[in-house]
C-alpha cells in the first residue's frame, strides 16, 4: 500500500497565514531573522520572526504592572466577563487555533481540537470562579471581634510554556489569573510562536471589546534569555513554568532567591499497574492512547506499564499487535493517530533510550523504527515502541520525551507500588483492577505518590475541573481547577474589633 502524501510546506505555510489572519494576528509586525517558525510535519521553515530583547521584557512587565493597578480593583465578576468573551472568541476560532497547534506541534486533528477545547473549558470554569473567590470567617477568641481571611490580586504573572501543549497551559494560567485580578506576561516555547501570536490577538480583541485595561496580556518571543529575564524580574511575583526538570532546577531557585513564588510543572515518568482482575480490553485501549498519543510527547504520557506476571504475556502481545497497526503520518489526515516528533533531537533521544534499554537486557517487542523518511527527510516520524524490561534500570527511571513504553512485571501489589514509586518524578499514575481493595490500596497514603492518581483510566487526559500537577521532581505546582486559584492571589488575615475595648489575644494583660 502506498504511503499517503504529506501536506506540502507551501500548503502548510498558506494555512498558517490564513489562520493567523482570521485570528487577527499581524504576522508582518513580527517578521525578522532571530527566530524561525517551523513545522514538524515536513521539518521545514515557515517564517522568520524577530526576538524580543531584555529591554522588551522589562517594558512588557512594566506595561502589565500598569494594567494591574487598574485591574485589581475591577470587580471580579466584571473580570469574569472578559474571560467569558475570550472563551467565545476561542469557540469562534477553534479550527484556526487548532490548525496552528497541528502545524507547530504536530498534533493530530482530534488532539489539537481537544487542546483548544481545554482552553474554552477553563474559560468557562474561570467565569464561574469569578463569583466564588471565597475567604473564610473564623471564630475569634476575643469577645466583640471578627476574624476572617480575604484574598486579593497578586500582580503580574509570568507564564513560560512548552511546545507540547502550546496553548492550553497558557490558558489554564491566564483565565484563572485574569479573574483573580492579575495580569499575564507570556513567554511561549520558541518552537511554537505562531500559536502564541494567534491567542494573544484573540485576547487583545476580547480586552478591547469589553473595555478592560490595555496591557493585561503580553507575549514575548525569544529563546532562554527572554525567559531568564522574566524569571528574574522583581516585578513578577509569580512565575508559572512548564518544561523539563532541568529547566525547573534553574527557574525555582532563581525565583525563590528574590522571594517570588513559582508554579512548576515539570517532568513525568508515569506508570500504570495492571492487576490480574483488570479488564484487558480497557487496559490495551487506554494504554495505547496514553503511551502513543501526541507521539509520546505529553508530560502525562504513559511510560511504564507494571503488569502482573499472570497476564503480562497477554498484555504485551496485544499491545504489540496494536502498535504495529497504528496509522502514522500527516497529522492533518483524519485517519492518522500518531504524528511527528517535534524535531531531530527528540528522535535521537528516543533511539538512545532504546539502545540503552536493550543493553540492559530489555526486549524491543515493537516499534522504534523511523517512518516516512523518504517522503519527509527533514521530519521525524517514528513508530511507537514497546520494550519488555527485566528490571527498572536507570534508563527506565528517566523521562524520555518520546513514545517509548517499558513493560515491567510484578508478583504482589506491594511490589508493584514500590516499582511505581521508585522514580524521581511524580506526576500521573493509574491502576487497572476490578478489585475495590486493590484500588483503595493504590489510592491510600502509602500507595501511589503522584499528584494525579487514577483507577481504570490511563495517565493522560486530565480534566480542567481538578487541580493539575505533581510531586517530587515534577515540581509540586498546581494549575487549572479545584482551589489552584489560590496560588494566583495573596491571602490577608483580618481582625475586626467592634467591642469598643482593647482585648489582646491569649489573655495577655498590657493595661496601663
- DSSP string for residues in 244-309: -HHHHHHHHHHHHHTT-EEEEE----EEEEE-TTS-HHHHHHHHHHHHHGGGG-STT-EEEEEEET
Determine contact, residues 439/431, Cβ cutoff 8 Å. Answer: yes
> Which are the catalytic amino acids?
265
- Same domain for 226 and 363? no
> Dihedral (C-alpha) 254, 476, 194, 191: value to the nearest 10 degrees?
70
Spatial CB neighbours of 78, under 8 Å, sequence gap ≥ 6: none
The reported pTM is: 0.96
Question: Which DSSP letter does residue 444 get?
Answer: S
365 and 245 in a common domain: no
Q: If we measure between CA atoms, which residue out of 346, 359, 360, 227 comes closest to residue 294? A: 346
512 within domain boundaries: no
Report the CATH number at residue 328. 3.40.309.10
pLDDT given for residue 3 in this prediction:
56
**What 3-state class would DSSP assign to 7?**
coil
Output the average pLDDT for the chain: 97
Q: Are 178 and 159 in contact (CB under 8 A)?
A: no
Check whether residue 297 and residue 444 sit in a common domain.
Answer: yes
Residue at 10 is within a domain: no
Q: Report d(CA 402, CA 339) in Å as an integer.
A: 12
d(CA 89, CA 92): 5
Convert 212-246 into a string of H (helix), E (strand) and C (coil).
Answer: CCCCCEEECCCCHHHHHHHHHCCCCCEEEEECCHH
The torsion angles phi and psi of 287, rounded to 5 degrees, stand at: -70, -40
State whether 286 and 243 are in the same domain: no
Tell me which H or E stretch contains 370. Answer: strand 370-371
Residues of the chain with pLDDT under 50: 1-2
Which residue segment(s) compose the domain that 337 sits in?
Answer: 270-467
Is residue 505 in some structural domain? no
276 plus 260 within the same structural domain: no
How many domains is the chain partitioned into structurally? 2
pLDDT score of 1: 43
Cell of 105: 506541534
Distance CA 343, CA 347 (A): 7
Residue 3 lies in a domain: no
How far is Cα 40 from Cα 46, in angstroms, rounded to an integer? 11
Q: At what angle do helices 76-92 and 193-210 cross, to 10 degrees?
A: 130
H/E segment holding residue 429: strand 428-432
Distance, first Cα to last Cα, the chain:
97
Residue 62: inside a domain: yes
Q: Is 321 a domain residue? A: yes
CA distance 162 to 512: 62
Nearest Cα to Cα of residue 116 among 144, 80, 87, 139 = 87
**CA–CA gap between residue 383 and residue 169 (Å, rounded):** 27
Tell me if 280 sits within 8 A of 314, measured CB to CB. yes
Q: Which residues contact 224 (CB under 8 A, 6 or more apart)?
A: none
Please check whether residues 253 and 314 belong to one and the same domain. Answer: no
13 lies in a domain?
no
How confident is the model at residue 512, as a pLDDT? Answer: 65
Cα gap 424→267, rounded to integer Å: 9
**3-state SS class at 64:** helix
Is 43 contained in some domain? no
Based on the fold, state whether residues 282 and 353 are members of the same structural domain.
yes
* Cβ-contact 144, 498 below 8 angstroms: yes
Q: Are residues 230 and 275 in the same domain?
A: no
User: Whose CA is closest to 62, among 277, 241, 215, 168?
Assistant: 215
What is the b/e burial string over 181-200, where b = at least 16 CB atoms within 10 angstroms of the residue's CB?
Answer: bbbbbbbbbbbbbbbbbbbb
Three cell numbers written together for 229: 529575564
Residues 289 and 253 in one domain: no
Handedness of CA 19, 162, 405, 280 (dihedral sign): negative
Q: What is the predicted pLDDT for the residue at 510? A: 82
221 neighbors 200 (Cβ within 8 angstroms):
no
DSSP label at 30? G
Euclidean distance between CA atoms 94 and 76, whole angstroms: 26
Q: What is the CATH number of the domain that holds 188?
A: 3.40.605.10
Instruction: Name the nearest CA neighbour of 288 among 264, 322, 249.
Output: 322
- 233 and 307 in a single domain? The answer is no
368: left (phi over 0), alpha (psi -120 to 50) or beta: left
Amino acid at each position: 500500500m502506498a504511503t499517503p502524501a504529506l501536506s506540502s510546506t507551501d500548503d502548510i505555510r498558506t494555512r498558517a497565514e490564513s489562520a493567523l489572519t482570521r485570528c487577527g494576528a499581524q504576522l508582518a509586525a513580527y517578521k525578522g531573522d532571530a527566530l524561525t517558525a517551523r513545522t514538524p510535519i515536513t521539518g521545514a521553515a515557515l517564517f522568520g520572526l524577530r526576538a524580543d530583547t531584555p529591554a522588551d521584557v522589562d517594558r512588557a512587565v512594566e506595561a502589565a504592572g500598569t494594567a494591574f493597578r487598574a485591574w485589581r480593583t475591577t470587580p471580579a465578576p466584571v473580570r469574569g466577563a472578559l474571560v467569558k468573551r475570550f472563551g467565545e472568541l476561542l469557540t469562534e476560532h477553534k479550527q484556526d487555533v487548532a490548525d496552528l497547534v497541528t502545524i507547530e506541534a504536530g498534533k493530530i486533528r482530534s488532539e489539537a481540537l481537544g487542546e483548544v477545547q481545554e482552553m474554552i473549558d477553563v474559560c468557562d470554569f474561570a467565569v464561574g470562579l469569578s463569583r466564588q473567590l471565597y475567604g473564610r470567617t473564623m471564630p475569634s477568641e476575643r469577645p466583640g471581634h471578627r476574624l476572617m481571611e480575604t484574598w486579593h490580586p497578586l500582580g503580574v504573572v509570568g507564564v513560560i510554556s512548552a511546545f507540547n501543549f502550546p496553548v492550553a497551559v497558557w490558558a489554564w494560567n491566564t483565565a484563572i489569573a485574569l479573574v483573580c485580578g492579575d495580569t499575564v506576561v507570556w513567554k511561549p516555547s520558541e518552537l511554537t510562536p505562531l500559536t502564541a501570536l494567534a491567542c494573544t490577538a484573540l485576547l487583545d480583541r476580547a480586552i478591547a471589546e469589553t473595555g478592560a485595561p490595555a496591557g493585561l496580556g503580553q507575549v514575548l518571543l525569544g529563546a532562554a534569555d527572554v525567559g531568564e529575564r522574566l524569571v528574574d524580574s522583581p516585578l513578577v511575583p509569580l512565575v508559572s513554568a512548564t518544561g523539563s526538570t532541568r529547566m525547573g532546577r534553574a527557574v525555582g531557585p532563581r525565583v525563590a532567591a528574590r522571594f517570588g513564588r513559582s508554579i512548576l510543572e515539570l517532568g513525568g515518568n508515569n506508570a500504570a499497574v495492571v492487576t490480574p482482575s483488570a479488564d484487558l480490553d480497557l487496559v490495551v485501549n487506554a494504554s495505547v492512547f496514553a503511551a502513543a498519543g501526541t507521539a509520546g510527547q505529553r508530560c502525562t504520557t504513559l511510560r511504564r506499564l507494571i503488569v502482573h506476571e499472570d497476564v503480562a504475556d497477554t498484555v504485551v502481545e496485544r499491545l504489540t499487535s496494536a502498535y504495529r497497526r497504528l496509522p502514522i503520518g500527516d497529522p492533518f489526515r483524519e485517519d492518522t493517530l500518531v504524528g511527528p516528533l517535534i524535531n531531530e533531537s527528540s528522535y535521537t533521544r528516543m533511539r538512545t533510550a532504546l539502545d540503552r534499554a536493550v543493553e540492559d537486557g530489555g526486549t524491543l517487542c515493537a516499534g522504534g523504527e523511523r517512518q516516512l523518511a523518504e517522503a519527509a527527510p527533514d521530519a521525524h516520524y517514528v513508530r511507537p515502541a514497546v520494550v519488555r524490561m527485566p528490571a527498572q534500570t536507570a534508563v527506565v527511571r528517566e523521562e524520555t520525551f518520546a513514545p517509548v513504553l517499558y513493560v515491567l512485571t510484578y508478583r504482589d501489589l506491594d511490589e508493584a507500588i514500590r516499582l511505581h514509586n521508585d522514580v524521581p518524578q511524580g506526576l500521573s499514575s493509574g491502576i487497572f483492577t476490578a478489585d475495590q481493595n486493590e484500588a483503595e490500596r493504590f489510592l491510600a497514603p502509602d500507595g501511589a505518590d503522584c499528584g494525579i492518581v487514577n483507577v481504570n483510566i490511563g495517565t493522560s487526559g486530565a480534566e480542567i475541573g481538578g487541580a493539575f500537577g505533581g510531586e517530587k521532581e515534577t515540581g509540586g505546582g498546581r494549575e487549572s481547577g479545584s482551589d489552584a486559584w489560590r496560588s494566583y492571589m495573596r491571602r490577608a488575615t483580618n481582625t475586626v474589633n467592634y467591642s469598643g475595648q482593647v482585648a489582646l489575644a491569649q489573655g495577655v494583660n498590657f493595661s496601663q
